[in-house]
Amino acid sequence: MDQEFFAQIDWRLNTVPPTGNSQSPLWWRQHEPLCEWDFLSLGRRGARNGSLYNPADVHFANRFFNANCGPAAFAAVTRRSICSVMRCFPKFPRKPWTTRADMESALKKMSTEWSPVESDLPRRGLALIQLIGPWNRLRNPCAALTRTHWVGVYDDYLYDVNWDGWLPRFIWQQLIYPSLEERYRGACGWRPLAGFEFLTECIDRNVW
């Protein structure tokens, strides 16, 4: 994501208060560790075990590698820092986008079993979602492909770089999807375009 988009996300999260409170979601997460908003990001930064993992270097990797949704989601589901996986995305920072072929190439460098998923969310893995809009009716497929977004998936939870963590899917729909809709003017929904189902746990002890 470019700096303008990060600024837009930060503005939204800091100006939309949680229900029944006048402070923002990020304020409550920072100042009230046991409040409802604290539990919305279910991963832990740098956690060595457990189901959900949050890379701790989202902003650093964005600044120095132009890393965005693809590398961040990849890092979250493979339990690595984003900076450590950038070698799997050699086009960055010059070409800061991740195609389906790019993600498949990155996964082939990992010691885990996976299988492609078409037009559905994997149970555990990575998903490329398509923002639905007038561009889907155009004959040029590139118009639609420029309006896609990578997320990590673990059962009913999604990892999104714009939240810098994991969210229940229904909360992601309410909290994060509207920001994507604002960015891609004309969007009226989304659907899974492609994905990768992880068949084994992807934990490499050598990264620690």
pLDDT in tens, 61-118: 999 999 999 999 999 999 999 999 999 999 999 999 999 999 999 999 987 789 999 8
Which range of residues forms the domain containing residue 52?
40-201
Q: CATH number for the domain including 90?
A: 3.90.70
Segments of 73-119 assigned E as strands: 114-118
Q: CA quadruple 200, 206, 207, 208: dihedral positive or negative? A: positive
pLDDT on residue 71: 97
The verdict on residue 6 lying in a domain is no
- Best CA proximity match to 73, nearest among 8, 143, 154: 154
Place of tokens 């949050």: 54
Residues near 179 by beta carbon (within 8 Å), at least 6 away in sequence: 8, 9, 12, 162
Tally the domains of the chain: 1
Is residue 187 very low, low, confident or very high in pLDDT (cuts 50, 70, 90)? confident
Residue 29 lies in a domain: no
pLDDT higher than threshold 70 for residue 34: no
Phi/psi for 52 (5° steps) reads: -115, 140
In a domain, 150, yes or no: yes
